[in-house]
Amino acid sequence: MLQQTQVKTVIPYFKVFLDNFPTLKLLSLSNETRVLKLWEGLGYYRRARNLLATSKILVNEHNSKLSRNLIDIKKLPGVGDYTANALLAFIHDQPTIAIDGNVKRVFARLLNKNEKKINFNKLIEINKKNFFKTKRNSDFVEALMEFGALVCKPKNPECFKCSIKNNCKYFISNKKFKQTKRLNIKVKNYNIFCYIDKMKNKIALTKKQNLGFLDRFYLPPIKESYDNKKIKNWNFHSNFKNFISNKKLNINLYYKFTLKIPPQHQWFSLKKNSEFIPTFTKKIFKQILKKNI
């Protein structure tokens, strides 16, 4: 849940999730519809699918136990280097560090160097003896992350109350290194086509679309496009922008009133649905309801 999402956003979802699935076994016995409904609004829904798939693999194939081997853990759905190392440290108390943005910044400041010029894996390997003097590896790893988030913050680090300032090259140096972080944002243009039943306030959605980032989720028909606003047989509704990960979506919304919808489409209410609807689709609903058509 914490991947790309702030702790304060996650907490209410985490509590509800644990109330519903207090054990790995109960999660593994659940299904995608239920898990996605509990995840609704949190975004990055692939995480929910991966978590459910992982729970089934662990319960059914590994007797509900997590391997102690990095390579084995990385075979689980959606688990990369960062998550695998975090799991090894948090669950098995192993001497390893999960390198997230906060940890990278702390090391970069301690060395007063550009993050891109640091080989973090090598750095950890070389300093293993210093880092892991403690037997509380899981606490050490968490402390490092928290230290980056709360003390060695991206802007205005709290150097004067920092307990390691005397060993920090950034603090000591007169020539402090400035981290320039340019996000590699890709702009993508899409046309979205809304079949609308005006009387019932309904919209047609389909899971049959070729959109990588919302694969197998309910959306109105969508096409990547560089067209201008005129499309035969469709009314232009509005243009809006939306960010998903490192993508900026530039969206032209079109509509037509109809009672007939193409195969593999279903009607959904524009206001309230018992079924899981991804956040992106809800934003489309909102956009449609904003303007009287």
Give the residues lining the site for ligand SF4 (CB under 6 A): 106, 109-110, 151-152, 157-159, 162, 164-165, 168, 170-171
Residues 256-275 as b or e (16 or more Cβ within 10 Å = b)? eeeeebeeebeebebeebee
What angle (nearest 5°) sits at the alpha carbon of residue 116, between those of residues 46 and 113? Answer: 135
Minimum distance between the CB of residue 88 and ligand SF4, rounded to whole angstroms? 25
Minimum distance between the CB of residue 116 and ligand SF4, rounded to whole angstroms? 18
Place of tokens 């689709």: 281
Minimum distance between the CB of residue 176 and ligand SF4, rounded to whole angstroms? 9
User: In this complex, which beta carbon is closest to ligand SF4, that of residue 33 or of residue 174?
Assistant: 174
Q: In sequence order, what are the beta bridge partners of 66?
A: none
User: In this complex, which beta carbon is closest to ligand SF4, that of residue 157 or of residue 221?
Assistant: 157
User: In this complex, which beta carbon is closest to ligand SF4, that of residue 64 or of residue 167?
Assistant: 167
User: In this complex, which beta carbon is closest to ligand SF4, that of residue 45 or of residue 107?
Assistant: 107
User: In this complex, which beta carbon is closest to ligand SF4, that of residue 134 or of residue 167?
Assistant: 167
Could you give the dihedral angle defined by the CA atoms of residues 256, 261, 263 and 264, in that order, rounded to the nearest 10 degrees? 80
User: In this complex, which beta carbon is closest to ligand SF4, that of residue 70 or of residue 159?
Assistant: 159
| Cα distances (Å, whole numbers) of residue 250 to 78, 188, 242, 284 | 28, 6, 7, 12
End-to-end Cα distance, the chain:
38
Is the CB of residue 174 less than 8 Å from the CB of residue 168?
no
Minimum distance between the CB of residue 111 and ligand SF4, rounded to whole angstroms? 10
Distance, CA of 40 to CA of 27 (rounded, Å): 16
Minimum distance between the CB of residue 144 and ligand SF4, rounded to whole angstroms? 11
- Strands 186-197, 222-224: pairing kind: antiparallel
Minimum distance between the CB of residue 105 and ligand SF4, rounded to whole angstroms? 8
